[in-house]
Chains A and B, each alone.
Chain A
Amino acid sequence: MAVLELKHISKHFGAIEAVKDVSFSLGAGEVIGLMGDNGAGKSTLVKMMAGNFRPSSGSILMDGKEIVMHRPVEAREHGIEIVHQDLALCDNLTAAANVFLGRELRLGVWPFRILDYPSMYRRAGEIFAELKSETRPRDLVKKMSGGQRQAVAIARTRLSNAKIVLMDEPTAAISVRQVAEVLNLIRRLRDQGITVVLISHRMPDLFAVADRVIVMRRGSKVADKEIAKSSPEEVTGLITGAIETV
């Protein structure tokens, strides 16, 4: 059965129709590549799945039951984690503070609850080690390299036992070695039965890890097929519109 199912999802911002009547389902342990030109509506789509935006119409079903998410916290409670396109990091905070942003660990009982710095540093350090990143928990994000910043954003998805991980261009602006690390992570997630949605403009990444590709053009879904039955040429054609739909 599908872990997550989108039915006739649309989203408009005023007069702009960012996502138009998109439906698809995600299976457990599946890696889905989401492709499309700039402005095709990919980020808007995953933000709706992560509780950042409410769909204008349509419904989202998890394990067959409809879920309505008003806030990112609710998506996380449903086991949906996201790496945002611009990483969504606060430069003035430490790596650990960014990893735990919005779900800080605390000690004590209400109303006397204080931040649990040692646990957050330790957990963040463990996740960075697992991601094979050089990032140190106490360092300020301001002073970090592109790859380290990416690691901080990805580390957020490892805080809970996620069922679905959405990655919005996680391999933009990082080195070849680190791209390989991210792709390895995606494979490890898949082996644990976690569903991954990967948005990328890099065709090789897609063909390296994805089981299925979904192509969007100007807000609509124009293709949804197994990667083994497609080719980079076909996907490119679908993105640009040279191939209408399949």
Chain B
Amino acid sequence: MTSSLTRSIDQKQQTFLSSILASQTFWVFIAVILASVALSFATDSFATSKNLYNITRNVTFTAIIALGMTLVIITGGIDLSVGSVLCLCSMVLAVVMHAGYSIEIGIAASILTALVVGAFNGFLIAYIGLPPFVVTLGMLSVARSLAMVASGNTVVFEFGPDHDTLLALGGGAWFFGIANPVMYTIVLALLTGFVLRWTRFGRHVFAIGGNESAATLTGVPVKMIKVAVYMISALSAGIAGIVQTGWLGAVTTNIGAGMELQVIAAAVIGGANLAGGGGTALGAIIGAMLIEVIRNSLGLLGINAFWQGTFIGGAILFAVLFDRLANYRRNV
């Protein structure tokens, strides 16, 4: 009796290996590896340290925001405003530092801006009940326009007394020669993964995406958690904006334009389910890697940049199709 109870408690539906083979993230990762190997042979310029350096940097900006986006998508929502929020937060940082304030004040102002924007989105979605698509589409327009107002639509490239610190924050490599943006991405990915798997908050994020009314009935604080995920999404855009500002050394009001699509694509390619209820931090990172490898390879292979959208769009469709096929096979 007790042994049969133990067996029932320990029994898993899938072995470790079969669950890996059924995971979309794993196959996307294989695709990234294969593409990288093929490109190393096909071109002289892919496997150069300069190109790899560029790739990893570019991946990080998409990846950091994709982490926040993944939380939103798991709850069954979407955040279209991230590209504009990145721009607004970069601009707030730039303008505050340009005015002679320290980097600490600049970053604090930038992060505060992100949290306010996220809370505003979340409030309208959770408490007023407006659709996430509409609210964040509105914010996409508002945030970029505010960035233009804040800067007078100019380029900011002088960041006051802490100018060099800011550039080092984004462009330096403080730990074992690993580029700072990569370091931040790794830390944030570990944090996101931990929160999703090991905290009550993470559990509730999944519950809301799985069945929102069930979550409400069982006493999950659905509204508060929804506000929190939109704040986290905006925060991730703000962090990416701060890092990107340090890396580029200049901010224009064009920064982050169209980025929302790339970020959503990364999350979805990495296995986040747009219908809600599924997604991982690792998936977001690997999805971002695949997108960057596609972008980079088109350039190196001399394919017209106009094709980029077709390839990334194709990857999204393929990922969604993969998910459908995998589910179909499991259900038969």
Residue numbers of A with Cβ under 8 A of B are 51-52, 71-73, 76, 84, 86-93, 97, 101-104, 106, 113-115, 121-122, 124-126, 128-129, 136-140, 143, 156
Determine how close the nearest CB of chain B comes to the CB of A35; give it in whole angstroms.
22
28 contacts between A and B (CB under 8 A): A51-B219, A73-B219, A76-B219, A86-B213, A86-B214, A88-B217, A88-B218, A89-B214, A90-B206, A90-B277, A92-B210, A92-B278, A101-B214, A102-B219, A114-B199, A115-B198, A115-B200, A122-B9, A124-B9, A125-B8, A128-B8, A129-B5, A136-B11, A137-B8, A137-B9, A138-B11, A138-B12, A143-B13
- CB of B209 within 8 Å of the partner chain: yes
Residue numbers of B with Cβ under 8 A of A are 5, 8-13, 197-200, 203, 206-207, 209-211, 213-220, 277-278
**Docked CA distance A137–B219 (Å):** 21
Secondary structure dominating the interface of B: helix
Which chain A residues lie closer than 8 Å to B217 at the CB level?
52, 72, 84, 88
Determine how close the nearest CB of chain A comes to the CB of B272; give it in whole angstroms.
12
Chain B residue nearest in CB terms to A50: B217
**Docked CA distance A126–B210 (Å):** 25
State which of A52, A104, A129 has its C-beta within 8 Å of the C-beta of B203. A104
Chain B residue nearest in CB terms to A99: B218
State which of B198, B213, B277 has its C-beta within 8 Å of the C-beta of A91. B277
State which of B10, B210, B213, B220 has its C-beta within 8 Å of the C-beta of A102. B220
With most chain A CB atoms within 10 A of its CB, the pick from B210, B215, B277 is B210
Determine how close the nearest CB of chain A comes to the CB of B228; give it in whole angstroms.
15
Establish whether residues A126 and B5, one from each chain, have CB atoms under 8 Å apart when the complex forms.
yes
Chain B residue nearest in CB terms to A89: B214
Secondary structure dominating the interface of A: loop
User: A101-B218, A102-B219, A104-B200 are known contacts. Are A89 and B8 too (CB-CB below 8 A)?
Assistant: no
Chain A residue nearest in CB terms to B12: A138
Establish whether residues B9 and A89, one from each chain, have CB atoms under 8 Å apart when the complex forms.
no
**Docked CA distance A146–B210 (Å):** 18
Known: A73-B219, A106-B200. 19 other contacts (CB 8 A): A88-B218, A90-B215, A91-B211, A92-B277, A93-B210, A97-B203, A101-B215, A101-B218, A102-B218, A102-B219, A115-B198, A122-B9, A125-B8, A129-B8, A136-B9, A137-B8, A138-B9, A138-B10, A139-B13
Which chain A residues lie closer than 8 Å to B8 at the CB level?
125, 128-129, 136-137
**Docked CA distance A91–B273 (Å):** 14
Chain B residue nearest in CB terms to A129: B5
Establish whether residues A101 and B207, one from each chain, have CB atoms under 8 Å apart when the complex forms.
yes
**Docked CA distance A101–B210 (Å):** 12
3 tightest Cβ-Cβ pairs between the two chains A and B? A90-B210, A72-B219, A125-B9
Establish whether residues A114 and B13, one from each chain, have CB atoms under 8 Å apart when the complex forms.
no
Which chain B residues lie closer than 8 Å to A113 at the CB level?
199-200
Which chain A residues lie closer than 8 Å to B218 at the CB level?
72, 88, 101-102, 156
Chain B residue nearest in CB terms to A138: B12
**Docked CA distance A129–B13 (Å):** 18
User: A72-B219, A106-B200, A125-B5 are known contacts. Are A92 and B206 too (CB-CB below 8 A)?
Assistant: yes
**Docked CA distance A128–B6 (Å):** 12
Which chain B residues lie closer than 8 Å to A71 at the CB level?
219
Determine how close the nearest CB of chain A comes to the CB of B62; give it in whole angstroms.
26
Establish whether residues B211 and A89, one from each chain, have CB atoms under 8 Å apart when the complex forms.
yes
**Docked CA distance A125–B11 (Å):** 10
